[in-house]
Homo-oligomer: A and B are copies of this chain.
Amino acid sequence: MNCSVIGATGYTGIELIKILVKHPNVQISQLTTRQSESISVRTLIPSLSKDIDLKIETYDFNKVKNTSDIIFVCLPHTEAMHCVKEFHDAGKIIIDLSADYRLKKASLYPVWYKTKHAYPKLLKKAIYGLTEINRDLIKKADLIANPGCYPTGAALGLIPLLKNGLVYQDDIVIDSKSGVSGAGKKLTTATQFAELDENFYAYKVNQHQHSPEITQMLETVSGEKVSLTFVPHLLPINRGILSVMYLKMRPGVTEKQIENAFKQCYEKEPFIRVKPQEQFPELRHVQYTNFCDIGFVADKKTGRVIVITAIDNLMKGASGQAIQNMNVRCGFAEEEGLI
């Protein structure tokens, strides 16, 4: 299979390249940038081997079209939209790492991304690429909308409980803390070292654009209207998202049932590891991996379940999951290139 990466110089593009150069089943055909000068991959990713001899070149639609079977789109939100449409019309398999095809309701885009969606019909066709949940649909998908980093961590921790009706779907708190690479490469004051070092704070409190994405996934799974509170924070570290979810158990639900729900959902999943009782995830355990670690505790006294998940925002939260989706779509071993 020949694959290309559009927008290869950002953090998710870099992470994809690192995986693709070692992946035994694929060839890299094109790596592109919107900039006018080409860049050597060894300059962009100096940790790579001496004999890697790839270039990132100025984007050329036809060149990509003529050489690629699979296309990873790593463009900013609202820019990816058009590029995805063009390659879809050209009959390619697309894995879109932007948010542009994640929300089913076109009407949400003006609200959360300040842009009208140009291709609502295509939106309907896109498959949401949370691998563990949509694996069968992904196998046949031509357009995979790769999930956001926060939604991946949150949804994987919530789905087993909502699917089995163990907790109330209208009383959910998600308190997430992310490393700074999630903010991308754009220069901002907030992401300058001198501003973030030794600092910590919540941002976009109750207003983060990933809220509707989480809600949509949870409503699909639970079949009911979901109401949630989502507060993201910025950690003074590079990689990783820890999400703590506070939920209310439905009457009569036991800790055992909760344990079983996680076990049943994830026992055979290669990238999900449910922690034993009294153990909880740490970012160190998942950084630079495609794992999602999950811990939980049920508290009879308050009737609350606390679920904690940890992922690497650039791996399971972006490029790792994109590769996992490619593996599923192409019939490769699901862990290929990822372990």
Given contacts A187-B189, A193-B197, A283-B200, is CB(A301)–CB(B246) below 8 Å?
no
B201:A280 contact, CB within 8 angstroms:
yes
Min C-beta distance of A248 to chain B, whole Å: 9
Give the complex CA separation of A47 and B299 in angstroms: 29
A306→B233 CA distance, assembly (Å):
14
Known pairs A177-B177, A194-B11, A339-B49; A299 contacts B200 (CB<8 A): no
Assess the B238–A202 pair: CB atoms within 8 A: no
A284 within 8 A of B: yes
Q: Within A193-224, which residues are at the interface with B (CB < 8 Å)? A: 193-203, 205-206
- A91-99, A134-142, A286-294: which lies at the interface: A286-294
Q: Cα distance A33–B62 when bound, in Å?
A: 50
Q: What is the bound-complex CA distance between A188 and B189, given in angstroms?
A: 10
Copies in the complex: 4
Query: Which interface class (under 10, 10 to 19, 20 to 34, 35 or more) fits A?
Result: 35 or more
Interface residue A192 (Cβ < 8 Å from any Cβ of B): yes
Minimal beta-carbon separation of A53 from chain B (angstroms): 14
Contact A201 B270, beta carbon cutoff 8 Å: no
Cβ distance A133 to chain B, nearest Cβ, rounded Å = 19
In the complex, the answer to whether A194 meets B175 with C-beta atoms within 8 Å is no
Q: Would you call A46 and B283 a contact (CB within 8 A)?
A: no
| With contact pairs A192-B193, A285-B46, A301-B227 given, residues A235 and B235 touching in the complex (Cβ less than 8 Å) | yes
Q: Is A244 an interface residue (CB 8 A)?
A: yes
Contacts of A50 in B (CB 8 A): 270, 273
A181 is an interface residue with CB less than 8 A from chain B: yes
A7-34 vs B, CB cutoff 8 Å, 1 = contact: the mask equals 0000100000000000000000000000
Q: Is A282 an interface residue (CB 8 A)?
A: yes
Chain A contacts to B: CB under 8 angstroms: 11, 46-47, 49-50, 173, 175, 177, 180-181, 183, 185, 187-189, 191-203, 205-206, 227-229, 231, 233, 235-240, 242, 244, 246, 270, 273, 280-289, 291, 293, 295, 297, 299, 301-302, 304, 306, 308, 310, 335, 339
Chain B residues near A281 (CB-CB < 8 A)? 201
User: What CA separation (Å) do A291 and B231 show in the bound complex?
Assistant: 23
Q: How long is the Cα–Cα vector from A36 to B179 in the complex, in angstroms?
A: 34
Contact present for A198 and B49 (CB under 8 Å): no
CB distance from A97 to the nearest CB of B (A): 17
Question: Which residue of chain B has its CB nearest to the CB of A186?
Answer: B192
Q: A177-B177, A180-B193, A193-B236 are in contact. Are A199 and B283 (CB under 8 A)?
A: yes
